[in-house]
């Protein structure tokens, strides 16, 4: 096993898939000469040339559309958005073109494209640049959505996304790029649609993904000290959702807390709660609670921003409520 940063794990994934299949190419703002705003594409221009690592103008709708067209005609583009905040300008191509084409063409036209980039809040980037768009894309039939929380999952899921024949949204995290973790050697693929148990436990299921995996594990550690054993499930893929793993866990623990970075109303957690209450109703000993970002545009003020994000203390508090140990 090699210890890599999340950033380098993504870089490996791109490099390996571009080596493996010459239809794969990368395009986006500053991905070539500047080697990516977050250096995910470091060294790729040098390795694969300007025809396969394409710097675009600051025109998200335009290059997203070029990507969709390229995918429809047989290439396998990876489109990088500098952040998902800017992808709002391109969402028509993602939702109306990429997601719909297979269905509207009666199965004749596939769109094997990956849209990727960092989402969610970083530090003091204020309301317009601190948004978690998981539920926006996970809402759309025709898209797949993955949100890895570790370097190994980032590499394995990006490779699986590039090989998938459907449009796949890869939600990365600016605050995750420097996080280190072990990545299996050799070919490492993580199947889309499979959640992962990050910690085994018996008293409560903590559901998390992407940036909330770390605080969930930290909370689980703290709870273990108090004799509460948490089963930590990392969703990894948001669409399609791995309901089976969630239900299997809740049937054992009887209690559940769902953590996400996004806003509470109509969020990812709302869907998780819906699946669990329907599939595991008779196994619930407490209402399922959610820990989410605050229901406000992200404040710029440092203290306010901190209190608007999910953190281990809030997760612990929710677990104490559902286990009746508050």
Partner 1 sequence: MATKVVMEALSPTMEEGRLIKWLKDEGDSVATGDVLAEVETDKAVMELVARGEGVLRRKVVPAGDTVEVGSLVGVIGDPDEDISALVGDGDRGEGGTAAATTPVAAAAPAAAPTPATSEAPAPAGDGQRVKVSPLARRIAREEGIDLRAVHGSGPGGRIIKRDLAVAAVGASRPAPATTAPYEDVPLTQIRKTIARRLVESIGPIPHFFLTADVDMEQAAAARTQLNALEDGPRISFNDIVLKVVAEALVRHRDCNAWWQDDCIRYFADADLSVAVAVDDGLITPVIRGANRKSLRDIAVEVRDLAERARAKRLTPDEYTGGTFSVSNLGMFGIEQFTGVINPPEAGLLAVGAVTERPVAVDGTVQIRKRMRITMSCDHRVIDGATGARFLQTVRRMLENPLAIVW
- Catalytically active residues are 60, 129
Query: Could you say which DSSP state residue 192 is in?
Result: T
Which residues have C-beta within 8 Å of that of residue 149, sequence separation ≥ 6?
A: 173, 176, 208, 209, 210, 211, 212, 213, 214, 234, 236
Residue 39 or 320: which CB sits closer to partner 1? 320
> According to CB under 8 A, which one of 75, 175, 286, 294 is a site residue for partner 1?
286
- Which position among 284, 294, 311, 314 is part of the footprint of partner 1 (CB under 8 A)? 284
Token code pair at residue 206: 């903590």
Nearer to partner 1, 94 or 276 (CB): 276
What's the closest the beta carbon of residue 232 comes to partner 1, in angstroms? 21
210 touches 176 (CB < 8 A): yes
How many residues sit close enough to partner 1 to count as binding (CB under 8 A)? Answer: 8
Cis peptide before 240 (omega within 30 of 0): yes
Residue 262, token pair as written in the block: 């996004």
Tell me if 274 contacts partner 1 by CB under 8 A: no
200 binds partner 1 (CB under 8 A): no
Cα–Cα distance between 211 and 207 in angstroms, integer? 12
Pairing of strands 196-199, 237-239: unpaired
Tokens of 229: 């054993």
Residue 249 as a binder of partner 1 (CB under 8 A): the answer is no
How distant is the alpha carbon of residue 129 from its chain centre? 17
**Residue from the set 15, 163, 218, 283 that interacts with partner 1 by CB under 8 A:** 283
Among 85, 254, 271, 292, binds partner 1 (CB under 8 A): 254
Q: Is 205 in the site for partner 1 (CB under 8 A)?
A: no
**Contact between 227 and partner 1 (CB under 8 A)?**
no
- Classify burial at 123, counting beta carbons within 10 Å of its beta carbon; exposed 0-12, middle 13-18, buried 19 or more: exposed
Give DSSP secondary structure letters for 220-245: HHHHHHTT--EEEEE--EEES--HHH
Shortest Å distance, C-beta 201 to partner 1: 16
Q: Is 324 in the site for partner 1 (CB under 8 A)?
A: yes
Position 100 contacts partner 1 (CB under 8 A):
no
Residue 284 CB, nearest distance to partner 1 (Å)? 5
Of 97 and 253, which has the nearer Cβ to partner 1?
253
* Of 284 and 294, CB closest to partner 1: 284
285 is a site residue for partner 1 (CB under 8 A): yes
List contacts with partner 1 (CB under 8 A).
254, 281-286, 324
């Amino acid at each position: 096993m090699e210890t890599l940063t999340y950033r380098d794990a993504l870089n490996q994934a791109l490099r390996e898939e571009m080596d493996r299949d010459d239809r794969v190419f990368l395009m986006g703002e500053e991905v070539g000469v500047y080697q990516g705003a977050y250096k995910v594409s470091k060294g790729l221009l040098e390795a694969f040339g300007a025809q396969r690592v394409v710097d675009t103008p600051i025109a998200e709708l335009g290059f997203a559309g070029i990507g969709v067209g390229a995918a429809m005609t047989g290439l396998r583009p990876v489109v990088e958005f500098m952040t998902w905040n800017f992808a709002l300008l391109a969402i028509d191509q993602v939702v109306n073109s990429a997601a719909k084409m297979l269905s509207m063409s009666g199965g004749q036209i596939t769109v094997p494209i990956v849209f990727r980039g960092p989402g969610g809040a970083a530090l003091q980037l204020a309301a317009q640049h601190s948004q978690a768009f998981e539920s926006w894309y996970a809402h759309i039939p025709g898209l797949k959505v993955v949100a890895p929380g570790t370097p190994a999952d980032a590499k394995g899921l990006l490779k699986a996304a590039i090989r998938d024949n459907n449009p796949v949204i890869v939600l990365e995290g600016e605050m995750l790029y420097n996080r280190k973790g072990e990545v299996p050697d050799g070919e490492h693929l993580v199947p889309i649609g499979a959640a992962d148990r990050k910690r085994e436990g018996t008293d409560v299921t903590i559901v998390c993904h992407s940036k909330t995996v770390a605080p969930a594990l930290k909370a689980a550690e703290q709870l273990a000290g108090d004799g509460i054993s948490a089963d930590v499930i990392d969703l990894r893929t948001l669409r399609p959702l791995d309901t089976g793993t969630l239900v299997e866990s809740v049937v054992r623990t009887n209690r559940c807390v769902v953590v996400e970075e996004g806003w509470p109303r109509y969020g990812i957690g709302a869907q998780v709660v819906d699946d669990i209450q329907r599939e595991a109703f008779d196994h619930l000993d407490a209402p399922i609670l959610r820990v989410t970002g605050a229901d406000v545009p992200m404040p710029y003020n440092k203290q306010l921003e901190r209190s608007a994000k999910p953190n281990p203390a809030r997760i612990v508090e929710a677990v104490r409520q559902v286990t009746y140990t508050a």
